Amino acid sequence: MKPNLPFLPKAVFFDMDGVIFDSMPRHAKAWSEAMALEGLPFSEYQVYLQEGRTGSGTVTDVFLAHGRGVPSQEDMQRIYANKSRIFDSMGDPIPMRGMHDVLAKVKSLGLEIYIITGSGQASLLDTLNHYYPDTFYKEKMVTAYDVKKGKPDPEPYLMGLEKAGLPASEVVVVENAPLGVRSAKGAGIFTIAVNTGILSDDDLWQAGADVVLPDMEALLELL
């Protein structure tokens, strides 16, 4: 029997990297290489586990994990500049397979569409309208530029609820990362995790996901 959502939401909050765009392999490689330039090991699997943090949050977490203390502003700017340069050198982002159909279904249901992302990668934010015209709007987005704490803190999703003017009970989140799941669940929102990357399903279940799916085709069926 085909599963259904346990309620009819009024809005869907989408994460961006690994959900809207199949960009996580590039982020993982870019972060790993940028940290290697600092003499800091940061595997691609670890990058996936840390996905959702702001750039400054990621740098701070890696520094502290390796006993380097809190990074300076110069450290953060240098590392994030290197990460962005490596990421941008890999070309344009790729839309996630099946996402156009998912968004078309969400629109047909009359649901509001929001993006809640920890990204501050301008090259990704600028390409949304190119790949998904008439779908995403600045006033319906929360990015790294808007928050102080970022994922896994519930702040980004609480800010999304405030922008939408909706209670958590009328929203569903689509995430792909454990920290994003924790953030959404901390805000009290029903959260679907779509495992589009290299993590195990257990990583997403343990973060508190209400549903774990293998791909966007499965999400389309659920909707």
| pLDDT band, residue 52 (cuts 50/70/90) | confident
How big is the chain, counted in residues?
223
Please answer whether residues 201 and 192 qualify as being in contact, where contact means their C-beta atoms are separated by less than 8 angstroms: no
Residues 81-140 have pLDDT tens digits of 999 899 989 988 889 999 999 999 999 999 999 999 987 766 566 788 889 988 999 899
Chain segment 14-26, per-residue pLDDT in tens: 999 999 999 889 9
The edge-to-edge listing of strands for the beta sheet with 211-213 is 141-142, 112-116, 11-14, 171-175, 190-194, 211-213
pLDDT, tens digit (0-9, with 9 covering 90-100), for 31-50: 999 999 999 999 999 999 98
d(CA 108, CA 167): 22
Give me the pLDDT at residue 203, please: 96
Task: Kindly tell me the burial class for residue 18, based on how many C-beta atoms sit within 10 Å of its own C-beta (0-12, 13-18, 19 or more).
Answer: buried
**Cα(29)–Cα(55) distance, rounded to whole angstroms?**
15
Q: What is the pTM of this model?
A: 0.87
Reply yes or no on whether the pLDDT at 7 is more than 80.
no
Summarize pLDDT for 128-173 with one digit per residue, the tens: 888 998 899 989 999 988 888 889 999 999 999 999 999 999 999 9
Residue 8: per-residue pLDDT:
83
Distance (Å, rounded) from C-alpha 193 to C-alpha 201? 9
pLDDT for residue 120: 72
Q: Which pLDDT score is estimated for 2?
A: 46
pLDDT at position 144, please?
Answer: 83
- Mean pLDDT across the chain: 92
Under 8 Å between Cβ of 135 and 128: yes
CA-to-CA distance for 75 and 67, rounded, in angstroms?
Answer: 15
Q: In terms of C-beta density within 10 A (0-12 exposed, 13-18 middle, 19 or more buried), how is residue 33 classed?
A: middle
